[in-house]
């Protein structure tokens, strides 16, 4: 594929944005790649995509950066990073423009990070950020345990697959 074009299935980072050293951005890029691989796997089957080997490192670096930038305690920073990821992956699933327009996607990611870190709470997307806050439930996800959760899901699916062949 020509590196100047972007389709909905293209992994991030996009051609106009080099790989970032910012922990939040690196984690978001990994999460979007993983989410897209999972969606492709759900549609096409095959081996389940694996999380990046450095998943825990990416997560912990983003949490530490969140603690520093937002001056939050660790628990609050973990919740904020979780909310950032939830919002970005939901945009990726539900907003066509997010998948198809790399410049809008990058702006949305930047504004979301500025908002959640407190570095720029008065972003143009502040109404969307406020709406996200309003609709968020209290359903915590433990991203530190995501590999164990994925393994448990694999075991669950394997058990059902075994069951389906023994009937």
- pLDDT 10s digits, 23-78: 999 999 999 998 888 888 778 877 777 778 888 999 999 999 999 999 999 999 99
Q: Is residue 35 part of a domain?
A: yes
Q: Is residue 34 part of a domain?
A: yes
Q: Is residue 112 part of a domain?
A: yes
Residue 50: how many other CB atoms lie within 10 Å: 11
Task: Using a cut of 0.75, tell me whether the model's pTM lies above it.
Answer: no
Number of domains in the chain: 1
Q: Is residue 7 part of a domain?
A: no
Q: Is residue 93 part of a domain?
A: yes
Q: Is residue 17 part of a domain?
A: no
Residue predicted with more confidence, 12 or 86: 86
Residue 59, domain extent: 23-142
Q: How far is CA 131 from CA 64, 121, 128, 135, in A?
A: 26, 14, 5, 6
Residue range 5-30: mean pLDDT, rounded: 65
Q: Is residue 27 part of a domain?
A: yes
* Percentage of residues of the chain with pLDDT beyond 90: 35
Nearest C-alpha neighbor of 88 from the set 56, 113, 63: 113
21, 58 Cβ separation under 8 angstroms: no
> In this predicted structure, what is the pLDDT of residue 139?
45
The phi and psi torsions of 108 (rounded to 5 degrees) equal: -65, -45
State both tokens at 164: 């389906």
pLDDT surpasses 60 at 6: no
Q: Is residue 4 part of a domain?
A: no
126, 37 Cβ separation under 8 angstroms: no
Distance CA 62, CA 142 (A): 14
Q: Comparing 8-22, 59-73, 116-130, which segment has the lowest mean pLDDT?
A: 8-22
């Amino acid at each position: 594929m020509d590196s100047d074009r972007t389709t909905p299935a293209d992994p991030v980072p996009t051609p106009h944005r080099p790989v970032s050293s910012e922990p939040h951005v690196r984690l978001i890029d990994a999460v979007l790649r993983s989410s897209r691989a999972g969606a492709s796997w759900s549609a096409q089957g095959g081996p389940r995509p694996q999380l990046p080997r450095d998943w825990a490192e990416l997560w912990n670096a983003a949490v530490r950066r969140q603690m520093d930038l937002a001056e939050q305690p660790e628990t609050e920073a973990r919740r904020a990073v979780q909310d950032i990821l939830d919002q970005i992956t939901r945009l990726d699933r539900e907003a066509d423009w997010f998948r198809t327009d790399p410049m809008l996607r990058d702006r949305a990611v930047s504004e979301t990070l500025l908002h959640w870190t407190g570095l720029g709470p008065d972003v143009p997307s502040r109404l969307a950020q406020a709406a996200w806050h309003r609709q968020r439930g209290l359903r915590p996800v433990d991203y530190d345990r995501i590999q164990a959760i994925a393994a448990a899901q694999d075991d669950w699916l394997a058990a059902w697959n075994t069951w389906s062949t023994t009937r």
